[in-house]
Structure 1
């Protein structure tokens, strides 16, 4: 009887002390991207720029509009061109409206102005932080004849922590794009 009591006690202690299994949360992948090599994209339009060989340039629905696609990151930079016809301030307001529509979800919006007077390239670069649909937006202009905007979007839910490596990579590419941006003289 004593042996039976001990075996029952040992058996119960083995099964009663276990914890409920709890599923582990999904981990995110650590993403690393190659060092970019830059290619020149000379459009038949009024401008040219350098872009990363990690991206592909595709035609968009309008003339002089392009999609800079990052297929492995599921990201697109939509580049649009507008000729200025006595509506310069309207283009500036529209570009800023596109940025500030994200203030509901953005935790901050960092704005950097740039000017390359020798190339007649001026504009603003906006980095939107938080759970925004667009992470980076910019505009480039010569302030008299041409106006180009760029907007970065990912084909995924806005998760700032998960997208941070991709956003940082594309941010460097877009800053290089702006540094290399040139207007063609016609």
Structure 2
């Protein structure tokens, strides 16, 4: 009898102490970034462009290597200048190699070519979808003397859902950079 009472008591305790589960309302993280105001950058390496004032440009250890830092997004665009010395095809292959090394993780790669003949600015813009280490890459050249390449990296694990808004913001900045790019 005593065992039955303990069993009934424990059963009542287990059943009565449970909370009714309620579904949580769906919500999304809202990341807002300021409207970009563009600032002009002039490199001693024979080129100029405009970049967002939300970022800052730092020199790397090498000449003509720059970091476009987005500190609040924990992102950096690595921008590198190379003079062309009969090695144009090598630079293009190296840029494409950097892009296609990410095919292991990227779900797709969108390539857009651009051409501004009046400014002698030509190149490709690559957008890598999925959990790749670099989401945006491009190269700009005049195809005879100058070559610039750039790669976007985040200082975090590549989670497309989390970094998506930042990638879109930086993508607009980089497209503006390309539109305003000029050789000196």
TM-score in terms of structure 1 length: 0.87
Output one character per residue of 1:122-179: Cα deviation in whole Å (capped at 9) or x when no partner: 0000000011000000000000000000000000000001100000000000000000
Alpha-carbon distance in structure 1 between the residues aligned to 2:60 and 2:10: 70
Alpha-carbon distance in structure 2 between the residues aligned to 1:10 and 1:31: 51
Structure 1 counterpart of 2:164: 164
CA contact (8 A) 1:28 1:162 kept: no
Structure 2 residue 108 is matched with structure 1 residue 105? no
Structure 2 counterpart of 1:139: 139
Alpha-carbon distance in structure 2 between the residues aligned to 1:79 and 1:126: 14
Structure 2 residue 157 is matched with structure 1 residue 153? no
Alpha-carbon distance in structure 2 between the residues aligned to 1:167 and 1:70: 11
Alpha-carbon distance in structure 1 between the residues aligned to 2:36 and 2:110: 24
Structure 2 residue 92 is matched with structure 1 residue 92? yes
TM-score in terms of structure 2 length: 0.88
Pairs within 5 Å for 1:115-126: 115-126=115-126
Structure 2 counterpart of 1:16: 15
- Secondary structure of the residue aligned to 1:106 is coil
RMSD: 2.2
Alpha-carbon distance in structure 2 between the residues aligned to 1:10 and 1:97: 70
Structure 1 counterpart of 2:78: 78
Output one character per residue of 1:51-104: Cα deviation in whole Å (capped at 9) or x when no partner: 000000000121111000000000000000000000000000000000000001
Alpha-carbon distance in structure 1 between the residues aligned to 2:10 and 2:147: 78
Structure 2 counterpart of 1:56: 56
Alpha-carbon distance in structure 1 between the residues aligned to 2:28 and 2:100: 30
More displaced 10-residue stretch of structure 1: 27-36 or 86-95 = 27-36
Q: Give 5+ residue unaligned stretches, structure 2.
A: none
